Amino acid sequence: MKLAPKVATIALSSIIATGIATADQAEAVGDHYYNGMTEPSNNQAYQKASYISNQALDDKHYGYADKTKYKAVGRVSNKNGWKGLGKDSMGTGFMVDNHTFITNAHVIEDKNGNVSKAKHISFDMNRDGNKKPYTFHATNVTTVPSYDIAIVHTKENMAQEANATPLKLASDGQINNLRYNQNLYSLGYGFHPNTNTKAHWSQFKYLQKSSNQAEIMTKDRFRAGDSGSPMVDGNYNVYGLRTYGYNLRNDGNSIYANQEVSGGESLYGYPKHFIQSHMK
């Protein structure tokens, strides 16, 4: 269980060499601690990332998720998030059973770091730009203690209405056996010029576990809006959630941003068991 002290109001990609965060980058609010952004994890990950070419990463528009298990992934909208009431704060989520999807807790929090009411949260599964084939509505939200993970139940039966297959959570053994430079994949709604509504497929690289073993650190073109997207293997088993990085808008200038150092919450052990105990 993640027992390290928490850090309040963290700007996910703005921890640059000077330590100064710009206002427009402060998209994740609340009490979330990221062990991967502290010593020694961050520098260890940077060193490992520097041995892998940025050309080994991939990120491209993916308009046929409905033909794969990525159909279970969607865009999460929070109408009382960090932008304020009535505005579209967003992230990514993925279905794990008929009435449950998972995302980062900071995606479903308000500007004060409190969990927004369920009525403000919706899930556009399989969205691609203006195409929104399925919209599902939250009935309640639970967060995993000490982790930046949220479990959201929906009014609708997502599997039935969308004819979609829930993603399977990887076993502890699979997560523990991740190896340096191993490929991982994702589908997310990350920032791209003029839009955060189109699904993008990513290939990225596993670097290491964070020093407290609770996070998966990667070399990944993680962008604003990718928060909550699944880290999967070639068989769509979910190892963790993409959560933080140093290059949210592809304009970071730190050594970490240049090497696309990123990371996310691991589903090893406690958080996976907590999720499973709260599935419908």
pLDDT in tens, 63-75: 999 999 999 999 9
pLDDT of residue 17: 27
Average pLDDT of span 74-90:
96
Contact 158, 98 (CB under 8 A): yes
At the top level of CATH, the class of 23-63+168-270 is: mainly beta
Enter the tokens of residue 250: 């592809």
pLDDT at 19 exceeding the cut of 60: no
Average pLDDT of span 128-135:
96
pLDDT at 131 exceeding the cut of 60: yes
Residue 237 CB contacts under 8 Å (≥ 6 apart), including other chains: 167, 168, 169, 170, 171, 174
pLDDT of residue 58: 98
Enter the tokens of residue 142: 């639970």
The enclosing H or E element of 50 equals helix 41-50
pLDDT of residue 31: 74
Enter the tokens of residue 157: 């039966």
Average pLDDT of span 250-261:
96
* Percent of the chain residues past pLDDT 90, beyond the cut: 88
Q: Is 258 exposed, middle or buried (0-12, 13-18, 19+ CB in 10 A)?
A: middle
pLDDT of residue 13: 33
pLDDT of residue 10: 34
The CATH code that applies to domain 72-166 is: 2.40.10.10
pLDDT of residue 11: 36
Looking at residue 172, the DSSP 8-state letter turns out to be: H
Q: Is there a shared CATH topology between the 23-63+168-270 domain and the 72-166 domain?
A: yes
The model's confidence at residue 2, banded by pLDDT at 50, 70 and 90, is low
Q: Per-residue pLDDT tens for 168-205?
A: 999 999 999 999 999 999 999 999 988 899 999 999 99
Comparing 228 with 6, the larger pLDDT belongs to: 228
Q: Per-residue pLDDT tens for 49-58?
A: 999 999 999 9
Q: Where are the domains of the chain?
A: 23-63+168-270, 72-166
For residues 179 and 278, give the distance between their C-alpha atoms in angstroms, rounded to a whole number. Answer: 30
Residue 103 CB contacts under 8 Å (≥ 6 apart), including other chains: 76, 91, 92, 93, 94, 149, 150, 152, 227, 228, 241
Nearest Cα neighbor of 222 from 37, 84, 83, 41 is 37
Average pLDDT of span 129-137:
96
Please tell me the pTM assigned to this model: 0.91
